[in-house]
Amino acid sequence: MAEAFTLLEDAPLAALNTLRVPARARWLAELSSAAALPRLLDSPAARDGFMVLGEGSNVLFAADFPGLVLRPRFAAVGIVSDDGDAATVRAEAGAGWDALVDWTLARGLAGLENLALIPGLVGAAPIQNIGAYGVEAGETIVAVEAWDRLDGRERRLGREDCAFGYRDSLFKRAPERWIVTAVEFRLSRSAPLRLDYAGVREELEAMGVAAPGPREVAGAVRRVRRRKLPDPATIGNAGSFFKNPVVTQQRAAQLQAASEGLPAYPAGPGLAKLSAAWLIERCGWKGHREGDAGIAAQHALVLVNHGRASGAELLALARRVAASVEERFGVRPEPEPRIVAAWW
């Protein structure tokens, strides 16, 4: 039987992260099956720790990784159950996220269309609880299959067990314990569409679409994203680098009273989510550049590598951006990607 993984020592990572920063891993394993996990995690290669790396679109390497980097390549997608009105779709961790969105739309299933064009693999979706245009992945996830290092076995966790929050989950809070291997989504053929966030409805009108379906919504979202966010194929970036700060509604009202035009959105009982892009732009960082490290001219949330910036240089700039927002507004935007460094 063929080996379920390949293992490379002292592996370069510059081509495996969308910020294009040079870094190395002591060991790099590509897995064709989740069945390889127990053997790899018990091997000497994992002695100094491990991390999972998908498309590298949600990580900043400000240092080399001293242990084992795992790249899931298992990518099967299929329907587990279908009652006509809704279906449960299971996708393995190595499947491309945007390819999954298209796969579901081709079968008339709605629920993921607002998350179109988000880079990365399916396995990252529950970890980060990816979200965009008023929708979060956790809303449609019904179960996550993950290897539990503590118990030494694969487990299936229901939605409530995953502790989803804003760009957060059980898996993100304990990355040394959990490795996501597959995700199940419950998707509908008749659910109402979500159109009232960040210009989606306006984009549909500009497209001349009066009665949109899920495919048209996905198309509108892709148009908006391509216009607002730089393409990692053109300039190194990891998408939105900063999370929107979540504060109490009282604090949000105080900030809005002192800062006319500050957008704030409901974020749960008694909470509000502030626009980090607005805060960063008001501090003068949009389009800023220091050597090859910079903030995108299109969107203030996006940290960019104009060519030869190191991870340490990008991280130093991100820290200065966050500190300036905290100094002026009293709230600190936190990073959205995983940062491989000594400290944030």
Q: Catalytic positions, please?
A: 167, 240, 336
Rounded alpha-carbon distances, angstroms, from residue 219 to 126, 193, 262: 23, 13, 29
**Neighbouring C-beta atoms of residue 42, cutoff 10 Å:** 12
Pairing of strands 59-61, 338-340: parallel
Find how far residue 342's CA is from the centre of its chain: 22
Q: Which two tokens stand for residue 161?
A: 């067990």
Report the alpha-carbon distance of residue 194 to residue 140 in Å, rounded. Answer: 13
Rounded alpha-carbon distances, angstroms, from residue 295 to 190, 277, 300, 315: 40, 11, 6, 12
Q: Which two tokens stand for residue 126?
A: 């529950």
Tell me the H-state helices in the chain: 37-41, 97-106, 124-128, 170-173, 200-206, 214-228, 249-258, 276-282, 311-329
Ranges of beta strands (E only) in 56-165 are: 59-61, 65-72, 77-82, 86-92, 131-132, 135-136, 141-148, 153-158
Beta bridge partners of 183: 91, 144
Burial class (CB in 10 A: 0-12, 13-18, 19+), 217: buried
Rounded alpha-carbon distances, angstroms, from residue 32 to 120, 311, 335: 17, 29, 31
**Closest listed residue to residue 18, CA positions, set 118, 94, 100, 113:** 118
**Closest listed residue to residue 66, CA positions, set 6, 149, 10:** 10
